[in-house]
Amino acid sequence: MKNLIKIELKKSIFSKTFLLGTALLSLFAILSAVYSIESFNGYNPDYLYEYCMENGKYVYNPDFPLYSFFGSWLGGDTLSLAYTLFFTFLPVGAAIPFSWSFHSEKKNGYIRNIAIRTNKKHYYIAKTIAVFISGALAVFIPYLVNILLVSAFIPYYPNWAGYTFYNCVYFGNMWSDLFFSNPILHTMLFVMFNALYGGIFALLSYAVSFYIKNIIAIIFGPFLLMILSGYVENIIVNQFFQNALTVFEFVPTNFLHSRTLYNQVTFSNVLLVTLILLLFSILTIIIKGKKNEIY
């Protein structure tokens, strides 16, 4: 079992497809960092208002929190095209590394060779672990690259609750209190949260491969689901909740961003969507795996 997991992990991580998926998301992460760095360099910190001076000496510049790292990293970027592309294609980048492997191995007869040497159950467990980890890493690495780049050029300043309109972190949203009390922890939580969803999107593609035989459809399955979900959510909101004071967000590619992009994000609706996607993926792998004849 352990050896099989090692084999599957090696196949998933040390591969050209893993590099491709990671490179796709890293490209958008780097472009977002470049945009934030250039925006910061265009800001003149010497431009001070009178109330920033006391006895002719600099006291405090209230603009600094607006140009801090916490509003410039990938999860804080709300202005560049790159961040939009990153979150839009995150399901694709997570699926490319290894979610298609079951379909490919079933097609070329590799599974039959494995079945001779090990239990079918062990194969599915090892495959599930490898698919999840490869998807999570394909998302985590671009975030790490972005954070290292941005932090090398843009300083850290404490966040101020008075700038809620500018930083798009509203009270009542998931982990919003941490943005002001512990912004580093807030950043780390969203990076890990996105990595988790990288694994979930990869598992979702893996589950789709039990129903669909086209490899392109397998890889782009979660991506199309997110696009369709966003479209349906917009229709529902416009038809039934247009005048509602609070509308909750249920589309993962919208609530993965650490800022409130559209609707309110709460832990309960995030947990509900996450459990639905995980249960669908895991149950599909278990049920279809048992019924699937690989010998």
Tens digits of residue pLDDT in 206-228: 999 999 889 999 999 999 999 99
DSSP state of 79: S
pLDDT tens, per residue, the chain with 295 residues? 778 888 888 889 999 999 999 999 999 999 999 999 988 876 655 555 555 666 666 566 667 777 789 989 999 998 899 999 999 999 999 999 999 888 887 777 777 776 667 777 888 899 999 999 999 999 999 999 999 999 999 888 888 777 777 778 888 889 988 998 899 999 999 999 999 999 999 999 999 999 988 999 999 999 999 999 999 988 888 887 777 777 888 999 999 999 887 888 999 999 999 999 999 999 999 998 877 665 5
The whole-chain average pLDDT of the chain stands at: 87
d(CA 204, CA 212): 12
Closest CA to 137 of 5, 22, 4: 22
Burial of 68 (0-12, 13-18, 19+ CB in 10 A): buried
**Coil, helix or strand at residue 173:** strand
**Coil, helix or strand at residue 171:** strand
Question: What's the alpha-carbon Rg for the chain, to the nearest Å?
Answer: 22
Give the C-alpha distances (Å, rounded to integers) separating 93 from 54, 82, 192, 198, 211: 52, 14, 16, 8, 21
d(CA 24, CA 241): 36
Contact 72, 150 (CB under 8 A): yes
Residue spans of the domains in the chain: they are 2-291
d(CA 235, CA 285): 32
- Whether the full predicted model's pTM is greater than 0.95, yes or no, is no
